[in-house]
């Protein structure tokens, strides 16, 4: 039987399902990074992606920061089932905040779901096993959910965020990127946030919002771009170089408390 490319025995690669739309530009950005990170001499060397770029997912910001916002978890679960039914062998979610609803996705499918937060934390620690503090550059939802704080704390590392006023500036920068603003002015504003973290003693920071990687250049501190880490994970898993990185530390986020 010919290779159907579906990641079954006898096939040479796995197919990634991208649960996207949070936001849509970040999803497209991930696809471009996958393309860039894939060693290829011809079209057929590239990775097959099944993508649901769905910007109609209920707002994570409203659900987490505002009272009464619709829970996006069930919609994400439905999308995950669709990706699996279309032939995906594993799923990635190119949105840091959306991992607050990771359990909805894993409960909905029988295929591995990469845990971006856990993956990025492991990457930072592997880069510097002696690290004790790390900066977090992300949306207000990342701050409120403490999703990075909890995961780093379990590994003995302290997460440091911008001061509240600067954090609000960062949140507005993210919102502006979602509206398509990516020119030098906003890039410089983002660099100023980086300088602020440097002033708090931060040497390395995570770009904990997939939009931030779009505008991060010439940063005054070392940054680990979650979107780039995810793209490299996709390539490695699809090319059968490693198993998908699923959640390895309990974040005490179960379906029961939703």
The single residue of 49, 75, 86, 95 carrying the catalytic annotation is: 95
The SS3 assignment for 251 reads: coil
Can you name the residues that pair with 222 across neighbouring β-strands?
204
Strand partners, 115: none
CB burial string 208-230: b at 16+ within 10 A, e below: bbbbbbbbbeebebebbbbbbbb
Which one is catalytic: 49, 75, 175, 209?
Answer: 209
Q: Classify residue 79 as exposed, middle or buried by CB count within 10 Å of its CB (0-12, 13-18, 19+).
A: buried
- Check: CB of residue 8 under 8 Å from CB of residue 87: no
Residues 6 or more apart whose CB falls under 8 angstroms from that of 210 comprise: 23, 26, 29, 30, 94, 95, 96, 226, 227
* 209 given a catalytic annotation: yes
Catalytic residues: 95, 209
């Amino acid at each position: 039987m010919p290779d159907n490319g579906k990641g079954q025995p006898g096939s040479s690669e796995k197919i990634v399902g991208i649960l996207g739309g949070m936001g849509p530009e970040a999803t497209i950005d991930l696809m471009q990074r996958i393309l860039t990170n894939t060693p290829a001499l011809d079209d057929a060397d590239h990775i097959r992606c099944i993508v649901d770029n769905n910007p109609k997912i209920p707002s994570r910001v409203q659900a987490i920061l505002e009272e009464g916002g619709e829970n996006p978890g069930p919609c994400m679960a439905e999308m995950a089932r669709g990706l699996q039914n279309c032939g995906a062998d594993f799923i990635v979610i190119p949105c840091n905040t959306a991992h607050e609803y990771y359990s909805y996705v894993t409960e909905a499918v029988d295929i591995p779901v990469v845990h971006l937060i856990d993956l990025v934390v492991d990457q930072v620690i592997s880069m510097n096993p002696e690290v004790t503090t790390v900066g977090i550059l992300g949306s207000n939802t990342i701050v409120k959910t403490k999703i990075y704080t909890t995961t780093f704390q379990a590994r003995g590392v302290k997460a440091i965020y911008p001061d509240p006023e600067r954090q609000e500036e960062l949140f507005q920068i993210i919102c502006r990127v979602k509206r398509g603003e990516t020119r030098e002015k906003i890039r410089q504003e983002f660099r100023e946030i980086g300088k602020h973290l440097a002033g708090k003693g931060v040497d390395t920071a995570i770009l904990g919002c997939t939009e931030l990687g779009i505008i991060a250049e010439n940063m005054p501190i070392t940054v680990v771009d979650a979107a780039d880490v995810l793209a490299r994970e996709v390539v490695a898993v699809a090319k059968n170089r490693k198993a998908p990185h699923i959640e390895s530390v309990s974040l005490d986020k179960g379906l029961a408390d939703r």
